[in-house]
Structure 1
Amino acid sequence: MVDFSSLIDLQIELFILMIIGYVLRKINMIPATARKSLTDLVIYVVLPANIINSFLIEMNWDIIQSGIIVLIISIMIQIFCQLLGKHLYPMANKKQIPVLSYGTICSNAGFMGNPLIESIYGSMGLLFASIYCIPQRIVMWSAGVSCFTDSKGKDVIKKVITHPCIIAVIIGMILMMTQVQLPLFLTKTIKVTSNCTTALSMIVIGGILAEINLKSVLNKLSLYYSFLRLIIIPAIVLSLCFLFKLPALAVAVCTVLSGMPAGTTTAILAEKYESDAKLAVQIVFLSTALSLITIPILCMIIELLY
């Protein structure tokens, strides 16, 4: 049975953190220069720790077998979302396209999705969620980051492989596959730093939100994006999984995670690479707000089907 109260509590928590960032920016406790420093802190320290921590899971052959369906579905979703991101925003301008493309590729499956899945489907659901996030982690810090750069060919590859977050993905995959046990003090340091991710990310987003007109959040582009991110993508995933009669838990985890709102890193990277940070905050804010409605409905539909 889905615990809808836990689900809603988590989403409200994100909004409270965003409001804190909004207020701190309005009273100038976080000036524009400080916000940029916070953005760098998130990208170069906190997010890499969060990524490495997400790979610190126990793996054995039984888990690999049970999770392989989830992994395949996740890979297919990433390929599908990259195609969507490239072709479904003809109305967007040059600065908006990177934001919308990245937001389509990268949902909030990690920050918001993992605790939400754990509260709904328990420890096995969390394990499947961690496996699901592996392709997204790789794509978001490779093809995803390249959305914001003007470089091509070797320059893109160089920028991507030297990015702290993709380095963290590589380290995390090595640790997961080899099952090397890090010293306890190092594991705890990574975990504690990782725990700052959601709070700092949402505070930074709140700070950016303070500099835009809230009325502008409701525009055709952000509504169109939210419709694709929250309804169309999970509907396609659920339909195909149901058609192929895949295992219920795997389908539930993949469908719910594919219907997560825009990832907070959308706004973080848009700010970092001087793209349209205002649009990025708009789609993060609006899609997260609308997910308060769409995710519970999605969970109810899954329960009815399975």
Structure 2
Amino acid sequence: MFIGTIFINIIVPILILVVVGAVLQKKFQFNLRAVSNLITYCLMPAAVFINLYETEIDVQVLVEIVGYLIVFSLAIIVVTAVISKLLKLDKGESAIFKNSISLINSGNYGIPVSQLLFQANPLGISIQIIVMVFQNVLTYTYGLYNLISATKSGLEILKSLLKMPIIHAMLLGGLLNWLRAPIPTFIWAPISHLADAFLAIALVLLGAQLAQIEFKTIINRTVLVSSIGRLIIGPAVSLLLIFLFGLDGVVAQSLFIASSFPTSRNSSSLALEYDVYSDLAAQTVLFSTVLSAVTVTFVVYLSAVLFV
């Protein structure tokens, strides 16, 4: 698969929907929190449920994936801590920097890419769902700790995690898959329709969110290094670990691609909510997302060459 083909068939459809979202947001000023709630509490759980219900994942493969994700995240956390020290960032800026590289947009960017890329192989999409769930756990533990470690207890963080609908959808989909329980058509049909709507609405929302970010002062040292860390160092660490773990095939391909996605929108949302360098966080999300059109294309191409 040539790089140009990957860019046209995978990245361009995503960019078109992101641009549509940005244009519509500039014109109509949507209530983005309401749209975000629609995705979080309805569309994304439906997509997660269907993919896990329909896909067979070997227990050994699942253990390998989770083991890889833990080691990958720890490696990235160590790398960001070292770079943060070298850059001599203050406490708040350091927290934003660490989150910008450690937290990946696996939801409304990663899953649509995987749905387009792995249309003929549901395992690739299911792996991305596992990555997304893991990233959500990381966001509301390590990411939250970086910002408000002194004000929020471990029990409160756990409660917020257990309230996340994708956790319930993942557990229910996995359980019904394991039990091989049939789902009546009158229940399956609406869930399927909701899942089908996820890809387009998630990307339109991403565009609408990016449209609200100010372009001024976007090019600065911290934003540049954060984007390099997320889009280049992240995949490099991933590739090294994939070889060390001896992973191959769709598992290796999916995990490598998952490591290349831009900074999570949640990192910006958390920074805004707790008033910690929110402008810097938003600028990093925008800059890394724009650059990812090039870097993700290259990683997808490289994954096809290395893990056929």
Question: What TM-score, normalized by structure 1, do the two folds share?
Answer: 0.76
Residues 1:107 and 2:101 aligned together: no
Q: Which runs of 5+ in 1 are unaligned?
A: none
Residues 1:57 and 2:58 aligned together: no
Distance 1:186 1:286 in 2: 41
Partner of 2:25: 25
Letter in structure 2 aligned against 1:53: I
In the TM superposition, residue 176 of structure 1 has moved relative to its aligned partner by 3.6
Partner of 2:41: 44
Deviates more, 1:101-110 or 1:285-294: 101-110
Distance 2:108 2:94 in 1: 24
Distance 1:93 1:238 in 2: 30
Partner of 2:138: 143
Q: How does 1:168-187 map to 2 (within 5 A)?
A: 168-187=169-188
Deviations 1:103-154 (A, max 9, x none): 5444244544455456556634x414413531x3333333312434642122
Q: How does 1:141-220 map to 2 (within 5 A)?
A: 141-146=136-141, 147-148=143-144, 150-220=151-221
SS class of match (1:216): coil
Distance 1:168 1:275 in 2: 32
Distance 2:192 2:274 in 1: 27
CA contact (8 A) 1:24 1:207 kept: yes
RMSD: 3.6
Deviates more, 1:192-201 or 1:220-229: 192-201
Q: Which runs of 5+ in 2 are unaligned?
A: none
CA contact (8 A) 1:114 1:129 kept: yes
Deviates more, 1:85-94 or 1:168-177: 85-94
Deviations 1:70-124 (A, max 9, x none): 4543343244345556665463663883x65555444244544455456556634
Partner of 1:76: 71
CA contact (8 A) 2:114 2:125 kept: yes
In the TM superposition, residue 232 of structure 1 has moved relative to its aligned partner by 0.8
Distance 2:140 2:231 in 1: 22
Residue identity (%): 23
CA contact (8 A) 1:58 1:179 kept: no
Question: What TM-score, normalized by structure 2, do the two folds share?
Answer: 0.76
Distance 2:53 2:252 in 1: 24
Partner of 1:127: 123
